[in-house]
């Protein structure tokens, strides 16, 4: 994808003075539910009404979507509200039905993105379409797989492309349902700045109370828009109840978000600096997370040393680490002096942790 300029045209065509917003229920449940939510969103900043028609579930027995009849409800909602309609597709059959019912925005879900055969099937079915097609990041943090999905669609002659950042699965327990791994989206954005990037705070957080926080962080990183699950009765939703907000709550979130306005050279400079500093903040947070994990391993080493009556300081091992890190740092343009100071500090902190364990 050497030239992504043409991909940006679909977003520019909306001529919005605010971020692009996709909103609606995780799942279409009833015709009444779909129409009521759509009508409550039609006079807001929402451009696309979303509703899940087919819902991939990890284990059988759960609600897997209402099916084709839901597309009829979306078509009716479009006629009554004028909103564009969007839904997730995972198979060629889904794509054919979505085109038949004139769905405007289609996206490939995280599980599907992880399967190149499925993405190719979708690309072949949608070949040459002028619909907007978005690709969610795969379940695992794999940049190549994410971009591969976009490239397959692009090679099929689909021009109106974009990506959705919905976070990545992890065995670790964190405050997120799916950890953002912001650096991956930042890397993608840096490589393809003209590819529209949309945040999915609903799936990242799994918690409606964190939607504003994560969406704001994304906007601070210059994301183009958001997709937020919105339901008239979130607590009783048929799927993903905890992460859905009411239409009124969505409107308040959109009101509370701080969006930078660009006007003149000074504003342009400030925008660039804000984005770069936000990138630094994310990377710094990741550094602290990694240092914390490293120190936990150092603590475990200290416990093993205590159980075996072994001295804390192991000079041979420390010298090996230092030499290796200096060499690796040089490859990344980092001076030996900086690397030595950095790892001496880390080593000293590790020693102090281990001393407390052994002498505790």
- For residue 128, pLDDT beyond 90: yes
pLDDT at 9: 76
CATH number at residue 303: 1.20.59.10
Closest CA to 353 of 293, 315, 296, 291: 296
- Mean pLDDT value across residues 117-124: 98
Using DSSP, state whether 310 is helix, strand or coil: coil
pTM here is 0.77
- Mean pLDDT value across residues 27-39: 97
pLDDT at 172: 75
Query: Do residue 56 and residue 167 come from a single domain?
Result: yes
Query: Do residue 254 and residue 278 come from a single domain?
Result: no
CATH number at residue 240: 3.20.20.70
Domain count, the chain: 2
The DSSP secondary-structure symbol of 234 reads G
Query: Do residue 243 and residue 292 come from a single domain?
Result: no
Which of 230, 258, 286 terminates a domain? The answer is: 258
Tokens of 291: 């240092």
The tens digit of pLDDT for each residue in 151-196 reads 999 999 999 999 999 999 987 778 999 999 998 998 998 888 889 9
User: What pLDDT band is residue 270 in, cutting at 50, 70 and 90?
Assistant: confident
Which of 258, 274, 306 terminates a domain? The answer is: 258
Query: Do residue 229 and residue 300 come from a single domain?
Result: no
Query: Do residue 192 and residue 328 come from a single domain?
Result: no
Range of the domain at 348: 266-359
Which of 258, 275, 299 terminates a domain? The answer is: 258
Query: Do residue 236 and residue 318 come from a single domain?
Result: no
Query: Do residue 289 and residue 232 come from a single domain?
Result: no
Closest CA to 109 of 143, 136, 145: 136
Query: Do residue 178 and residue 318 come from a single domain?
Result: no
- Mean pLDDT value across residues 276-290: 89
Alpha helices in the chain (DSSP H): 9-12, 31-41, 68-81, 92-100, 110-113, 116-126, 143-155, 182-191, 201-205, 211-220, 247-256, 264-307, 315-331, 336-359
The tens digit of pLDDT for each residue in 291-322 reads 999 999 989 998 988 889 888 888 888 888 88
Query: Do residue 93 and residue 126 come from a single domain?
Result: yes
Integer distance in angstroms from the first to the last C-alpha of the chain? 58
pLDDT at 8: 62
- Which one is predicted more confidently, 163 or 273? 163
The tens digit of pLDDT for each residue in 46-93 reads 999 999 999 776 667 667 789 999 999 999 999 999 999 999 999 999
Alpha helices in 90-142 (DSSP H): 92-100, 110-113, 116-126
Query: Do residue 109 and residue 204 come from a single domain?
Result: yes
């Amino acid at each position: 994808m050497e030239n992504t300029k043409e991909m940006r045209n679909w977003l520019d065509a909306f001529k919005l003075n605010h971020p692009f917003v996709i909103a609606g229920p995780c799942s279409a449940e009833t015709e009444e539910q779909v129409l009521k939510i759509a009508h409550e969103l039609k006079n807001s900043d929402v451009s696309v009404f979303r509703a899940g028609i087919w819902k991939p579930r990890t284990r059988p027995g759960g609600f897997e979507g209402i099916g084709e009849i839901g597309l009829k409800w979306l078509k009716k909602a479009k006629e009554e509200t004028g909103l564009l309609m969007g839904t997730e597709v995972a198979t060629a059959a889904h794509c054919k039905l979505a085109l038949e019912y004139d769905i405007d925005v289609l996206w490939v879900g995280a599980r599907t993105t992880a399967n190149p055969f499925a993405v190719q099937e979708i690309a072949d079915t949608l070949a040459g379409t002028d619909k907007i097609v978005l690709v969610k990041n795969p379940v695992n943090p794999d940049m190549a797989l994410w971009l591969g999905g976009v490239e397959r669609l692009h090679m099929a002659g689909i021009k109106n492309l974009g990506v959705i950042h919905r976070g990545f699965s992890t065995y670790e327990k964190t405050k997120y349902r799916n950890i953002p791994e912001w650096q991956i989206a930042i890397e993608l954005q840096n490589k393809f700045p003209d590819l529209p990037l949309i945040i999915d705070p609903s799936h990242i957080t799994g918690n409606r109370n964190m939607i504003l926080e994560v969406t704001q962080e994304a906007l601070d990183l210059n994301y183009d828009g958001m997709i937020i699950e919105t339901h008239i009765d979130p607590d009783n939703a048929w799927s993903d109840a905890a992460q859905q907000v009411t239409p009124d709550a969505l409107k308040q979130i959109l009101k509370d978000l701080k969006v930078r306005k660009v006007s003149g050279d000074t504003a342009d400079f400030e925008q660039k600096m804000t984005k770069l500093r936000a990138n630094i903040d994310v990377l710094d947070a990741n550094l602290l997370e990694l240092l914390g994990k490293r120190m936990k391993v150092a603590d475990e080493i200290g416990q093993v040393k205590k159980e075996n009556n072994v001295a804390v300081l192991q000079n041979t091992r420390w010298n090996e680490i230092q030499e290796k890190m200096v060499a690796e740092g040089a490859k990344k343009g980092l001076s030996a002096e900086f690397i030595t100071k950095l790892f001496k500090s880390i080593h000293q902190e590790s020693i102090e942790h281990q001393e407390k364990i052994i002498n505790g």
